[in-house]
Amino acid sequence: GENVEQHPSTLSVQEGDSAVIKCTYSDSASNYFPWYKQELGKRPQLIIDIRSNVGEKKDQRIAVTLNKTAKHFSLHITETQPEDSAVYFCAATPLGQLTFGSGTQLTVLP
Amino acid sequence: GAVVSQHPSWVICKSGTSVKIECRSLDFQATTMFWYRQFPKQSLMLMATSNEGSKATYEQGVEKDKFLINHASLTLSTLTVTSAHPEDSSFYICSERGLYNEQFFGPGTRLTVL
């Protein structure tokens, strides 16, 4: 089955700086790669996703890149704000059921 | 996106009792729903895939006789934790699959077994 690794596990940045979270996956058949933000006790919230026919996608301060050859994808958050502090999960799927990365606790310091 | 509700949002029960969690699709006919479990400070782990009208597909290591899944209609899937024990205490989240493999999550159920 699919295996997704995520790094780093914790990340602290100063407000206004950029944050980058990286994931690798194992199943070359995976074709959908969502990123979720989860606040304590709440459901994961989709913040951006990318499909295998696209190399990069951007939505305001958030961007995701995908390298199919290397089987890795990354989340980039620019101009970070304190409200960006949360746990972020990457995920991958070939058939619909998601395999999640282990999560990154992002802390944006004011 | 689709709207998914889950009930109850939290439940506390005694060891040995059974607990049923409902997951409803409010605006979409969900032929496939997923059940995840999340322990504190950990990631979401897929427990099983629930298919309307057929048996659920369980992930390796998940006991199908302990975690009973029923998906009798296109809008409702239920997860019953039978003979719950303290180690079953966790955050249980369902999701439904959209047309393009995206997933819409329910708000989750916090289960505490005393």
pLDDT > 80? residue A28: yes
- How far apart CA A63 and CA A78 sit, in angstroms, is 8
Q: Which of A11, A20, A16, A27 is nearest to A91 (CA)?
A: A27
- How far apart CA A32 and CA A73 sit, in angstroms, is 11
**Chain A touched by B3 (CB under 8 Å):** no
Q: pLDDT band for position B78 (50/70/90)?
A: very high
Predicted local distance difference test score (pLDDT) of residue A54:
85
Cβ-based contacts of B44 with chain A (< 8 Å): 44, 89, 98, 100
B55 within 8 A of B40, measured Cβ to Cβ: no
Cβ-based contacts of B105 with chain A (< 8 Å): 43-44
- Count of alpha carbons within 13 angstroms of residue A104, beta-carbon side: 29
pLDDT, average across residues A64-89? 97
**Chain A touched by B34 (CB under 8 Å):** yes
Among B44, B46, B100, beta carbon nearest to A44: B44
How many other β-carbons are positioned within 10 Å of the β-carbon of residue A83?
8
- How far apart CA A17 and CA B9 sit, in angstroms, is 36
| DSSP code for B59 | P
Of B96 and A61, more confident: A61
Cβ–Cβ gap B46/A98 under 8 Å:
yes
| DSSP code for B31 | S
Among B34, B43, B105, beta carbon nearest to A43: B105
pLDDT, average across residues B23-48? 90
Ordered DSSP codes for A36-79: EEE-TTS--EEEEEEETT-SEEEETTEEEEEETTTTEEEEEE-S
SS3 B88: helix
pLDDT > 80? residue B28: no
Cβ–Cβ gap A103/B101 under 8 Å:
no
pLDDT > 80? residue A43: yes
pLDDT, average across residues B66-82? 92
Phi-psi region of A41 (alpha: psi -120 to 50; beta: other; left: phi over 0): left
Each residue of B69-95: b (16+ CB within 10 Å) or e?
Answer: bebeeebbbbbebeebeeebbbbbbbb
Cβ–Cβ gap B93/A49 under 8 Å:
no
pLDDT, average across residues B94-99? 88
- How far apart CA B69 and CA B65 sit, in angstroms, is 9
* Least reliable range by pLDDT among A89-93, B7-11, B53-57, B75-79: B53-57
Angstroms from A95 CA to nearest CA on chain B: 7
Optimal mutation site among A4, A49, A98, A104, interface B, most CBs of chain B within 10 A: A98
pLDDT > 90? residue A85: yes
Cβ–Cβ gap B43/A97 under 8 Å:
no
pLDDT > 80? residue B38: yes
Cβ-based contacts of B45 with chain A (< 8 Å): 100
pLDDT > 90? residue B43: yes
Nearest CA in chain B to A88: B43
Q: Determine whether A109 is exposed, middle or buried from the number of CB atoms within 10 Å of its CB (0-12, 13-18, 19+).
A: exposed
- Give me the residues paired with residue A24 across strands: A5, A72
